[in-house]
């Protein structure tokens, strides 16, 4: 058997952790997200691959910097490659599994002052349906 058992967090109780697949021959990377305060989440960013979010607990607001929508436990949200996005917890307890369609995490942060030139490159052309959600 060539399957491998991998520990994704050093603190199981926190519910937070990540797995970067390339090191283990996998073409996906995973973030186990847990946010315990409303209003928290990452800044606007994008990836050169799609990202799939499985909302396991709570409610989260997704945004592309222009429009936004809510998703709650039981929903699956797919953000296509290259589309700017961010999310913020609307709940006191948010748990998600974020699946990156890449063996390595590749993130371009769009709201950071040192990367202001990247903000000018943002285009929503062709992204009218930027999130794909199924509940």
Residue-wise pLDDT for 21-50, tens only, equals 999 999 999 999 999 999 999 999 999 999
Percent of the chain with pLDDT over 70: 78
| Long-range contact set of residues 11-18: C-beta below 8 Å, sequence gap at least 24 | 15/95, 18/105
Res 95: pLDDT: 96
* Pairing outcome for strands 59-63 and 51-57: unpaired
Q: Could you tell me which of 52, 90, 84, 85 has the C-alpha nearest to residue 71?
A: 90
Average pLDDT (62-87) is 97
pLDDT grade, residue 14 (50/70/90)?
Answer: confident
**Positive/negative CA dihedral, 15, 21, 24, 26:** positive
Instruction: Return the C-alpha torsion angle 40, 51, 53, 94, nearest 10.
Output: -20
Q: Residue 33: beta bridge partners?
A: 96
pLDDT above 70 for 9: no
24 phi/psi in degrees, rounded to 5? -115, 15
Task: Report yes or no: 26 and 103 within 8 Å, Cβ to Cβ.
Answer: yes
CATH superfamily for 30-134 is Jelly Rolls (2.60.120.10)
Q: Residue 55: beta bridge partners?
A: 96
């Amino acid at each position: 058997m060539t399957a491998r058992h991998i520990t994704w967090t050093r603190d199981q109780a926190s519910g937070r952790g990540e797995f970067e697949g390339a090191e283990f021959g996998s073409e996906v990377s995973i973030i186990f997200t847990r946010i315990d305060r409303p209003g928290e989440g990452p800044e606007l960013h994008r990836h050169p691959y799609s990202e799939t979010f499985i909302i396991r607990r709570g409610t989260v607001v997704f945004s592309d910097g222009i429009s936004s929508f809510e998703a709650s436990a039981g929903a699956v949200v797919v953000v296509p490659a290259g589309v700017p996005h961010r999310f913020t917890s609307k709940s006191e307890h948010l748990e998600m599994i974020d699946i990156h369609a890449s063996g390595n995490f590749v993130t371009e942060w769009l709201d950071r002052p040192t990367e202001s030139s990247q903000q000018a490159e943002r285009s929503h052309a062709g992204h009218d349906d930027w999130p794909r959600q199924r509940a």
